């Protein structure tokens, strides 16, 4: 039994790493927090990871029940997440602040505390979800928790906790990456990451549409 748990844990670890991909999430974190203070960046990193962990735990324990209760399909989840990511990527590509970074209703109109609160909101979306805990991660969590026995669900959650810790460490090192790149190169990276993020979003939408069409054809 112990060997089964170890094998399953290693499989879950590899699966979550491939799907959540903290390596690709780090440049996105740099681009989204380029104008923020170090303390704000640390809070965003912490909240983003905690958000993603909360999402994975929730869907690991009650994913199938949630989907059945609200009539949510993975196709719809992929499309909605893809649209959100695409909007963020497009605005990054244009070189202007996204509404999910500093919403227009608070930017330049209210106190610093409200601006910081708005900046921290990106930890929930898009960083926490769907960048780290996207539809693929949620589907992976639901799939791993489908194994018989609650022990496998615990092992799956533990595997994602390791990925979350790794992601947090990489986010904290983002400041060194910024210093290494410099302002000019960071602008280039921001535009490039905007293109990549938008492409990821479009890919999620296409995958969701494909899943929706396949599900529709299976019902007729």
56-91 pLDDT tens trace: 999 999 988 888 888 888 788 778 878 877 887 787
* Radius of gyration of the chain, Cα coordinates, nearest whole angstrom: 18
**C-beta atoms surrounding 23 within 10 Å:** 11
Q: Which of 198, 33, 11 is nearest to 127 (CA)?
A: 33
Q: Which residues contact 98 (CB under 8 A, 6 or more apart)?
A: 32, 87, 88, 91, 92
- Return mean pLDDT, the chain: 82
Task: Tally Cβ neighbours within 10 Å of residue 38.
Answer: 10
Say what the pLDDT of residue 147 is. 79
- Mutual orientation of helices 135-145 and 2-20 as an angle, nearest 10°? 170
Residue 197 binned pLDDT confidence (cut-offs 50, 70, 90): confident
Give the tens place of pLDDT for each residue, 132-153: 998 878 888 888 887 778 899 9
Contact 118, 35 (CB under 8 A): no
Of 199, 197, 205, residue with least CA distance to 26: 197
Alpha-carbon distance of 36 to 105, in angstroms, equals 18
Residue 7: its H or E element? helix 2-20
Question: Which tens digit of pLDDT belongs to each residue from 9-54?
Answer: 999 998 898 888 887 788 889 888 887 888 889 999 999 999 999 9
Rounded average pLDDT over 163-173: 94
Position 118 confidence tier, pLDDT thresholds 50, 70, 90: low
pTM over 0.85: no
pLDDT over 70 for what percent of the chain?
A: 87
């Amino acid at each position: 039994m112990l060997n089964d748990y170890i094998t399953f844990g290693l499989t879950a670890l590899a699966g979550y790493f491939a799907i959540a991909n903290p390596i690709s999430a780090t440049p996105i974190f740099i681009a989204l927090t380029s104008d923020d203070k170090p303390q704000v960046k640390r809070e965003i990193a912490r909240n983003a990871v905690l958000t993603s962990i909360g999402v994975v735990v929730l869907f690991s324990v009650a994913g199938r029940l949630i989907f059945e209760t609200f009539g949510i399909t993975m196709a719809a989840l992929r499309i909605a997440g893809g649209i959100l990511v695409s909007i963020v990527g497009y605005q990054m590509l244009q070189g202007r602040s996204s509404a999910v970074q500093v919403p227009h209703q608070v930017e330049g109109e209210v106190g610093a505390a409200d601006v910081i609160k708005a900046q921290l909101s990106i930890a929930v979306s898009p960083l926490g979800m769907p960048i780290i805990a996207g539809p693929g991660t949620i589907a992976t969590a639901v799939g791993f928790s489908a194994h018989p026995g609650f022990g496998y669900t615990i092992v799956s959650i533990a595997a994602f906790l390791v990925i979350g810790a790794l992601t947090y460490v990489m986010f904290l090192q983002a400041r060194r990456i910024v210093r290494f790149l410099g302002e000019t190169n960071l602008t280039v990276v921001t535009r490039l990451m905007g293109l990549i993020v938008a492409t990821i979003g479009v890919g999620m939408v296409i995958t969701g549409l494909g899943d929706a069409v396949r599900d529709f054809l299976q019902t007729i």
